[in-house]
Amino acid sequence: MATRTKILSLVFAMMMSFTVLSGYCSAKIYKVGDSERWTAKDDVYYAWAERDYKEFHVGDSLVFEYDHNINDVTQVSGGLEYEFCDLSSPRAVYNTGHDITYKVGDSEGWKVYDSDFYNKWSEEKQFHLGDSLIFEYANEVNDVYEISGDLEFMTCDPTSPVAVHKTGRDLVRLTELGVHYFITSNSGSCEAGLKLRAMVGPQQKAVTYPKFPKKVDFSAMERLNNWLKAFKPQH
């Protein structure tokens, strides 16, 4: 079973804050809250962000896992909005439930030298616009090259890549419809089967839920007047 999670690029989220450093070594992917996931629990995310002296850098990503029928992820613009949970002017809201990331090869990762392994893995999936792929591998041995066509894929030709990934834990977002091709630049490994072809379809339609009337917030004076009205004699 593929790992199915909601994922988004590094953001300042509604219930947690942290410092993003400008220095960049290799992109990392963090699962927010680890086993606690993204749920309402006091101090979980403060402790998580500080644990092991996490240092977030530009290019890192956060994975939010949660029940999208209950929660969402709202990006706010500053510390004041964060402290008061002010959602009135969000920079972005993530709640579609369709941003899914797949770990390529599942538990095997990007290291199986078998001509059918990644074909079968890909055929079992339904990739959509906005989904992402995570490639995990030993970067001393392999890498990930995005290439543009079927001919390059069949012949394991890495000479004109669309993009090159070499961190050992690469996040690739699927932003275009059609077939996406990935190979390793190691010709022997590629010919042995270390390559992936992924067909990407349109984004799934978001599930809509009935909108309930918002709770009306009365001022203290209005609440007092309503309370006093209850004691007036009825005619």
* Contact present, 200 and 157 (Cβ < 8 Å): no
Catalogue all structural domains in the chain, each as residue range(s) with its CATH number: 6-99 (2.60.40.420), 101-201 (2.60.40.420)
E strand map for 50-160:
56-57, 61-64, 73-75, 92-94, 101-103, 127-128, 132-136, 144-147
- Each residue's pLDDT, cut to its tens digit, for the chain (235 residues) gives 444 444 333 333 434 555 555 544 455 677 788 877 787 777 788 788 877 667 877 556 677 777 778 888 887 888 888 888 888 888 766 665 555 778 899 889 999 999 899 999 999 988 988 788 989 999 999 999 999 999 999 999 999 999 999 999 898 988 899 999 999 999 999 999 999 999 999 876 544 444 444 444 556 666 666 656 655 655 5
pTM (predicted TM-score)? 0.56
Contacts of 47 (CB under 8 A, 6+ apart): none
